[in-house]
Amino acid sequence: MSPVDYVKIYLELDWSLIPIIPKTKKPPIPWTEFQTRRATLAEVTNWINKGWYLAVVTGDISGVLVVDDDRVKHGLKEWDLTSPVIAISESKGKHYYFRYDRDIHSHSNATLRIDLKGWHSYALVPPFNGRQWISQDFDNLTPLSDEIVRLIHFDDCKFGKSGIRKPLNMADFVDIEEGARNDSLYKLACSVFNKLDKDTGTRVLVGVNLTYKPPLGESEFNHQVSQAWEFIQSSIEKQGSPKSADLSERRTDTSNAEKINELFGSNVRFDHRRKRWLIWKGHRWQPDIDGDISRKAMQAAKKRYHEVAEIDDYEKRKKAVAWAMQSENKTRLDAAIGIAKSLVPIADSGDNWDTNPMLLSCPNGIVDLTTATLREGRSEDRITMATAVNFDPNAACPLWEKFINEVFENNEELIRYVNKSLGYSISGNVREQVVFFCFGVGANGKSVLFSTIREILKDYAYSAPASMFQRNSMATATNDVASIEFRRFLMSSEILSSTKINELRLKKWSGGDQETARYLYSEFFSFYPVCKIWLFVNHKPQVEDDSFGFWRRMRLIPFNRVFKLSEQDKDLPQKLKGEFPGILNWLVKGCLLWQKEGLLPLPEIISEATGAYQQENDDLAEFVSDACVESDEIVTKASVLYTAYKKWAEEQKLTGKDLFSKTAFGRRMGDRFPKKREKTGICYRGIGIKNDLISQNNVGLYAGLTPKCMVGTQNTKTSYINPCKGSLLKNATNPTYHTPAEDDTVLDPSSVFDGNLPDLDSVEEQQ
């Protein structure tokens, strides 16, 4: 097996790995972060390529602890330990692996020549530095017994029978042989730096090192001394926190909270706006959904036991032990967690999470959607979301592409548009301001397509209840609305044809306008939606908004293919799971294509389907078609147009809610035709009334509605003449526009109205 093959096994076991410089026990990089996050395969492979060894980080992150038995190397009989997982070194030393099921502190027992590698430690793994596995039953790891732990931790040089710490005995730290030198020097350095300044202490340690057999090299010596000095300094005062000794003597919930902050503050945040805990997991800040913060609080409480050893006074030590035990109670844990929410850096206002629209978080890193490249996640990215699958730029999805071709009947233009639209939908950008309506009668692939996308996008996707887009629905400022924050792909189904769609919400969200919502029992908060709305329906819902602002957003994507029962593959959703990385890659490529081409022009099939849908929902379209003519040459007074509408509606037997009020009619017509206030009142340009709605007694209802308007008849045609703009000749079949001709009959207004044009607002009374 190659080293990479070993690494894959370790990563499958959820082990956290770190690099080690060959011939030393020193990591070449800071490794503290790998106590809370696991390195990726790409990171570890890079370390191997640099010639570095690998070690497993012991403790909670990997779930293992290691007993390092070097007794044989020192001429002693090896311990009689049993473990299902054992590694052996070239010097015949053995590593016994056990399950890390409780907080166990690392300790080196120089007398026994045994090291216990628990919390905050690491152990080299095979095949590096000649190590081999002699037993690999990883599935059956057992805990290390309390008796063995106590035996390794027992150190009779620390306390006498009275419980008082003995003075430091330098004889315990000289003439140390290979295998125990690092640990011995580190322990002594910690004690020395508690009493002396760095320069004086270092001179003492140089002398002690000269007694070692052989002395540590300069690099290793400096490393151990530096580590000890940094540890003591951080213990004395860490970012203004109380001293460790003070924390151990302060028996309060606040001191317990400060311990949580001290241990985990760099990797834990409490989002006060959304009332949630966030834990740094390597590539993103993951919302705590399984009680991780409680486990961290318990771990911090158990550290109290280790602080007890630093207290000289017997009575104080007894009280500290009692408080350590109390700190593990639920009441004390909850109190500490509650206070920790307010401590910096844990406390977070909730601003600026998931704000970069072109970053997509995946389990294996962060995808830059502008370049389709993968990089490591950074805590400063402030990303909380993630897809369900890793990003692989080389992954393919032939079955998915075959499915897409079948659904859209090999319409390459439509398929390209759908790919771009879905690619746009994985970004947090809302510049297109569109809403996608996917329409088909059933058995057309909609459900499979969208459930697949939703499953892949995971946190970025949200399946909204149909009520969210129904007008007058109770789903307003509730959990449902609050839940769309940060979501990029919002889908909804089962909207009935009788349902009136909530056009205002569609316009608001598709444009990224600010929304206000709240979670249950929480305060209201505001956010800017980044969701792309995909509604898939078997029956088109009713739309009352005929404004340009609404219909310019609409994209009706027809799903015309109907799969016969014999053509349907009931196992297709399961088969597509195997292509999830490839489908994600297909989406990312679609995002690149969208950035290059945009979403215009529309495919003809979408443009026609959307136009037809708009026509179906246009309550005034029939009136304009039946009773009106359209031309830039015509100007009609608003009140006259509404009178004509009422006459037409009466003929159509429209009543009640089907009949527009004057205000509603004016608003609708104003969305269609330019509106301007003239001396005679409000007028519309571009629309007039057909002749058959105007009796000869109502002459003057048409064309300009000013004293310049003249009316006459010529043979069987009625001529409405506007000297400024031209005239309209209307017969039963064909209205035509032209400049007044010599043979047109032009009448003086006074010959019709006795010198005075009628009050057009009273036309209805004249009829």
Distance between CA atoms of residues 516 and 518, nearest Å:
7
* Residue 750 pLDDT exceeds 80: no
85-99, 433-447, 708-722 — which one is most confidently predicted on average? 433-447
Q: Which of 211, 236, 261 is at the close of a domain?
A: 236
| Mean pLDDT across 295-315 | 82
pLDDT for res 704 = 37
Q: Is residue 210 part of a domain?
A: yes
Same domain (yes/no): 91, 221: no
Same domain (yes/no): 610, 625: no
| Mean pLDDT across 293-318 | 83
Residues 6+ apart with CB under 8 A from 485: 517, 527, 529
Specify whether the CB–CB gap between 681 and 637 falls below 8 A.
yes
What stretch of H or E contains 754? none
In this predicted model, what pLDDT tens digit does every residue of 136-182 receive, in sequence order?
888 888 898 876 776 676 543 343 333 334 445 666 777 787 767 77
Where does the pLDDT of residue 20 fall: very low under 50, low under 70, confident under 90, or very high at 90 and above? Answer: very high
Distance between CA atoms of residues 500 and 466, nearest Å:
11
* Residue 238 pLDDT exceeds 50: no
pLDDT for res 78 = 67
3-state secondary structure of 628: strand
List, as one string, the DSSP characters of 209-270.
Answer: HTTSBSPPPHHHHHHHHHHHHHHHHHHH-STTPPPHHHHHH--SHHHHHHHHHHHHGGGEEE
Specify which residues 436 forms β-bridges with: 534, 555
Q: Is residue 497 part of a domain?
A: yes
Q: Is residue 100 part of a domain?
A: yes
Same domain (yes/no): 106, 130: yes
More confident of the two residues 84 and 426: 426
Distance between CA atoms of residues 302 and 525, nearest Å:
38
What stretch of H or E contains 583? helix 580-597
Same domain (yes/no): 211, 117: no
Specify whether the CB–CB gap between 486 and 384 falls below 8 A.
yes
Tokens in use for 550? 């609404």
- Amino acid identity of residue 764, one-letter, is E
Specify whether the CB–CB gap between 108 and 76 falls below 8 A.
no
> Cis peptide leading into 214, omega within 30 of 0?
yes
Same domain (yes/no): 179, 258: no
Out of 28-37, 245-254, 510-519, which region has the weakest mean confidence (pLDDT)?
A: 245-254
Distance between CA atoms of residues 348 and 279, nearest Å:
12
Where does the pLDDT of residue 427 fall: very low under 50, low under 70, confident under 90, or very high at 90 and above? Answer: very high
Q: Which of 587, 615, 643 is at the close of a domain?
A: 615
List, as one string, the DSSP characters of 492-546.
Answer: EE---TTSBB-HHHHHHHHTT--EEE--TTS--EEE---PEEEEEESSPPB----
Residues 6+ apart with CB under 8 A from 258: 241, 242, 247, 343
In this predicted model, what pLDDT tens digit does every residue of 258-281 receive, in sequence order?
999 999 998 999 999 899 999 999
* Residue 89 pLDDT exceeds 90: no
pLDDT for res 414 = 98
Percent of the chain with pLDDT over 70: 81
Q: Is residue 556 part of a domain?
A: yes
In this predicted model, what pLDDT tens digit does every residue of 199-211 receive, in sequence order?
777 877 887 888 8
Distance between CA atoms of residues 464 and 470, nearest Å:
12
Same domain (yes/no): 251, 144: no
Domain range spanning residue 662?
619-766
Same domain (yes/no): 211, 312: no
Q: Is residue 461 part of a domain?
A: yes
Out of 567-571, 605-609, 738-742, which region has the weakest mean confidence (pLDDT)?
A: 738-742
Distance between CA atoms of residues 245 and 308, nearest Å:
9
Same domain (yes/no): 135, 207: no
Where does the pLDDT of residue 76 fall: very low under 50, low under 70, confident under 90, or very high at 90 and above? Answer: low
Same domain (yes/no): 463, 609: yes
pLDDT for res 169 = 61
List, as one string, the DSSP characters of 704-730.
Answer: T-STT-EEEEETTEEEEEETTTEEEEE
In this predicted model, what pLDDT tens digit does every residue of 367-393 receive, in sequence order?
999 999 999 999 999 999 999 999 999
- Name the domain count of the chain: 5
Same domain (yes/no): 143, 32: yes
Where does the pLDDT of residue 711 fall: very low under 50, low under 70, confident under 90, or very high at 90 and above? Answer: very low
* Residue 30 pLDDT exceeds 70: yes
**CB-neighbour burial class of residue 204 (10 A; exposed 0-12, middle 13-18, buried 19+):** middle
pLDDT for res 744 = 42
| Mean pLDDT across 416-429 | 98
- Give the number of other Cβ atoms within 10 Å of residue 488's Cβ: 25
Distance between CA atoms of residues 309 and 317, nearest Å:
8
Percent of the chain with pLDDT over 90: 43
More confident of the two residues 723 and 252: 252
Same domain (yes/no): 304, 229: no
In this predicted model, what pLDDT tens digit does every residue of 454-470 receive, in sequence order?
999 999 999 998 888 88
Where does the pLDDT of residue 473 fall: very low under 50, low under 70, confident under 90, or very high at 90 and above? Answer: low
Q: Is residue 53 part of a domain?
A: yes
In this predicted model, what pLDDT tens digit does every residue of 40-67 receive, in sequence order?
999 999 999 989 999 999 988 999 999 9
pLDDT for res 491 = 95
Residue with tokens 């850096």: 345
CATH (domain of 490): 3.40.50.300
* Residue 696 pLDDT exceeds 50: no
pLDDT for res 22 = 87
* Residue 611 pLDDT exceeds 80: yes
- Give the number of other Cβ atoms within 10 Å of residue 5's Cβ: 9
Where does the pLDDT of residue 752 fall: very low under 50, low under 70, confident under 90, or very high at 90 and above? Answer: very low
Q: Is residue 389 part of a domain?
A: no
Same domain (yes/no): 121, 189: no
Strands 276-280 and 268-271: antiparallel
CATH (domain of 744): 1.10.10.10
3-state secondary structure of 63: coil
Tokens in use for 767? 């009829």
Tokens in use for 215? 């002395």
Q: Which of 302, 320, 348 is at the close of a domain?
A: 348
Q: Is residue 407 part of a domain?
A: no
Long-range contacts of 742-749 (CB under 8 A, 24+ apart): 743/714, 744/712, 744/714, 744/719, 745/712, 745/713, 745/714, 745/719, 746/710, 746/712, 746/721, 747/710, 747/711, 747/712, 748/710, 749/700, 749/707, 749/709, 749/710, 749/711
pLDDT for res 235 = 55
- Give the number of other Cβ atoms within 10 Å of residue 195's Cβ: 10
Out of 332-341, 492-501, 608-617, which region has the weakest mean confidence (pLDDT)?
A: 492-501
**CB-neighbour burial class of residue 658 (10 A; exposed 0-12, middle 13-18, buried 19+):** exposed
